[in-house]
């Protein structure tokens, strides 16, 4: 009996639209008793722009003020943790256990970020004291982060792109808001650099390095097509997305010690310099991008595990002996790709930050080119996922 065509893409697309609608509503719900007018007067620097690109709350005073950042940061940390524990630990850990760990860590991250954000809020006069209002704001932001966590997981299961549609909405919103504030003359150089970065990322996302593999189990015309594939940017734009989150860690540490000793001049000086508007802060930020690019790539691809799996299956890289030589070859290749992609990302980001430090462009535009990087890096896999579901729907199935 013939089965009608599926509508997988349509169902997932409608579910993602529903998730985004809920997100847009939550993003416009103000925190209790917060004075939004006072916060609108604050100047946004490059770091705040980048944070809002991920969090989505440009002035950080709504229910979803923390945005998707706690979700992606907790998933990243747990992913790194399980990767470092090895294959045996991953095999023993159930998906439910990993989800509980991620949930717990997300709440911890959300609470830390919420406490930091609450210190910057300005409240209206009410019957409650300021400390109580800050506690309420922290609880609201943590609840908002928990809701986004659940929505992202549901979208991963029933929608398209997991958390990326939320990030995409934030990027487009910030892109439009930023463009409206400046003239074309102000934007011209940043837009050109943004387009260049987007083009470079597009090339690196689609340029594939193929390492030919000799498979002992394949004895047909496809034997020559077997290979291990690496992109020019092995890990994509993840380092740029997560760099600000990691850049905030030393800031939070310094801020914590300042609460214990407010008059410490050294800590005050360090806090002032740990900002993207300072040369030291910019250098640290670029160093974080390069380091994360290297770290994420080696954790995700794990050349040692790849070499071991090839050897266990009786396969080998053409012209390379199995075992240690294969491991060294894969490590060297991945290292070269990481150095190349890391230098490209840091160079393009560094040009924009350098122009901002010299006063040639506004501080709000310092990380504007990062928009092109992240936008392209998100749209490429999103396009491939949509194309896969579209092809799936194009088939007719039989019972």
DSSP per-residue string spanning 62-86: BTTTTTTHHHHHHHHHHHHHHHHH-
For the chain, domain boundaries: 1-181, 182-380
The answer for 210, left when phi > 0, alpha when psi is -120 to 50, beta otherwise, is: beta
The Cα-based distances of 313 to 73, 106, 230, 310, 329 in angstroms read: 35, 38, 20, 5, 18
Residue 218's pLDDT is: 60
pLDDT at 46: 54
* Contacts of 311 by beta carbon, 8 Å cutoff, 6+ apart: 322, 323, 326
CATH no., domain 1-181:
1.10.3370.10
Which ranges of the chain would DSSP assign to H, the alpha helix?
A: 8-26, 36-40, 46-55, 69-85, 87-92, 95-118, 130-158, 164-181, 184-206, 238-260, 265-273, 279-301, 303-312, 324-357, 368-393
Q: How long a stretch of residues is the chain?
A: 399
Which two three-digit tokens encode residue 54? 């991920």
* DSSP code string of 227-247: EEEEESSTTTTHHHHHHHHHH
Q: What is the DSSP letter of 363?
A: G
Q: Residue 315 in contact with residue 218, Cβ under 8 Å?
A: no
Q: Do domains 1-181 and 182-380 have the same CATH topology?
A: yes
Find out whether 289 and 239 touch, Cβ atoms under 8 Å.
yes
The Cα–Cα gap between 242 and 399 comes to 46
Domain 182-380: state its class. Answer: mainly alpha
- pTM comes to 0.79
Each residue's pLDDT tens digit in the chain (399 positions)? 445 567 788 899 999 999 999 998 988 888 988 887 766 544 455 555 556 556 555 656 888 888 888 888 888 888 888 877 777 777 787 888 888 899 999 999 899 888 878 887 888 887 788 899 999 999 999 999 999 999 999 999 999 988 888 888 888 887 777 788 788 888 888 888 888 888 888 898 888 888 888 877 665 555 566 788 899 889 888 888 778 777 877 777 887 788 777 778 888 888 888 877 788 888 988 999 999 999 889 988 888 888 888 888 788 888 888 888 999 999 999 999 999 999 998 988 888 888 888 888 877 777 777 777 888 888 888 888 988 888 887 775 554
The residue among 50, 46, 103, 31 whose CA lies nearest residue 276 is 46
């Amino acid at each position: 009996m013939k089965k009608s065509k599926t509508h997988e893409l349509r169902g997932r697309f409608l579910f993602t639209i529903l998730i985004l609608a809920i997100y847009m509503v939550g993003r416009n719900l103000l925190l209790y008793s917060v004075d939004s007018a006072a916060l609108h007067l604050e100047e946004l620097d490059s770091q705040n722009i980048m944070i809002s690109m991920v969090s989505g709350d440009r002035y950080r005073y709504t229910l979803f003020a923390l945005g998707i950042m706690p979700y992606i940061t907790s998933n990243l940390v747990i992913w790194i943790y399980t990767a470092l524990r090895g294959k045996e630990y991953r095999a023993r850990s159930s998906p439910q256990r990993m989800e509980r760990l991620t949930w717990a860590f997300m709440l911890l991250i959300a609470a830390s970020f919420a406490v930091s954000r609450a210190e910057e809020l300005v409240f209206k006069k009410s019957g409650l004291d300021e400390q109580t209002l800050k506690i309420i704001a922290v609880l609201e932001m943590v609840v908002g982060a928990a809701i986004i966590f659940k929505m992202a997981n549901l979208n991963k299961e029933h929608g398209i792109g997991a958390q990326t549609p939320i990030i995409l909405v934030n990027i487009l919103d910030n892109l439009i808001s930023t463009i409206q504030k400046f003239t074309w003359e102000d934007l011209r150089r940043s837009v050109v650099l943004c387009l260049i970065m987007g083009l470079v990322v597009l090339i690196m996302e689609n340029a594939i390095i193929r390492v030919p593999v000799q498979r002992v189990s394949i004895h047909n015309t496809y034997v020559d097509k077997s290979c291990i594939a690496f992109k020019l940017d092995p890990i994509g734009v993840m380092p740029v997305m997560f760099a600000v989150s990691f850049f905030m860690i030393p800031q939070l540490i310094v801020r914590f010690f300042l609460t214990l000793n407010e008059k410490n001049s050294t800590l005050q000086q360090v806090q002032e310099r740990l900002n993207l508007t300072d040369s030291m802060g910019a250098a640290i930020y670029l160093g974080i991008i390069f380091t994360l690019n290297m770290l994420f790539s080696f954790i995700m691809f794990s050349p040692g595990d790849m070499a071991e799996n090839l050897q266990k299956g009786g396969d080998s890289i053409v012209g390379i002996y199995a075992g240690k030589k294969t491991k060294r070859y894969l490590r060297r290749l991945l290292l070269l790709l990481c150095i190349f992609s890391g230098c490209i990302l840091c160079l393009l980001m560094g040009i924009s930050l350098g122009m901002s430090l010299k006063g040639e462009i506004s501080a709000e535009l310092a990380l504007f080119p990062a928009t092109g990087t992240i936008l392209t890096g998100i749209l490429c896999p999103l396009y491939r996922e949509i194309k896969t579901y579209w092809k799936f729907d194009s088939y007719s199935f039989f019972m």
